[in-house]
Amino acid sequence: MAYTISLAGKAALVTGASSGLGVRFATLLAEAGAAVALCARRTDRLKDVEDRIVEAGGRAVSIGMDVTDVASIRSGVAAAEAALGPIGILINNSGVSGEQRLTDVDEATFDRTFDTNVRGAFFVAQTVAVSMIRTGTAGRIVNVASIAGLKPFGRIGVYSMSKAAVVMMTRSMAIEWARHGINVNAICPGYVETEINAHHWATEAGQKLVQMLPRRRIGRPEDLDAVVMMMVSDGAHFVNGAIVAADDGMVAG
């Protein structure tokens, strides 16, 4: 039996929507019928994404948002609701990464990573959840974590710590907000090729890493589609607090 997920009539908000996985998530939701608020600091790039969605017959609006600034988060969510109505879906995707030995990490790097990946993710989710509770919306929140939050990897220790915090944050939110009809889950992607990291996979070091993976391949953004669509669907009302690794078996190895 075919099973099609329709998001028609729903409003969604995607952070980090100017590049990488954020673009894919926003496009995916729009293709399923959701009206999408595209949020990021780089509004010029957001407009390109918005134009592509609209040209394909979808509905989208670009909103400047800096997730390290709580006032910017709150004004951005308010702007999204003014344009699209109550937010029913949040893809909490903004994040930064970096490669550095723990002995070399300075305060600025540590603070930047946690301000974006943890503090920013928390206050985006909190702001949207408060709105969902106020409007009585049975919402879906998907926090984008990482397999690095489930398993330590060399030279990305601070990033791993931040994503481990997102995993625990997801579980805490799921328990506390369940009574309001809000489901909170997290997707933990493995290595996925995007425009940001594509150059790395063509290098000798990148190819060496690929050969160490269980199936000797890296993912594509669309490989995450099924998990994300399940998490935001009405049919996933019994899926709450789930931490799903979409990594082609890396964590299992």
Task: Give the active site residues.
Answer: 159
Q: Residue 201, class by beta-carbon neighbours within 10 Å (0-12 exposed, 13-18 middle, 19+ buried)?
A: middle
Dist. CA 90–CA 36, nearest whole Å: 10
End-to-end Cα separation, the chain, in angstroms: 33
Indicate the helix (H) or strand (E) that contains 123. helix 121-135
20 closest CA partner among 44, 49, 47, 43: 49
Count of residues making up the chain: 253
Instruction: Tell me if 49 sits within 8 A of 17, measured CB to CB.
Output: yes
CB atoms within 10 A of CB 121: 26
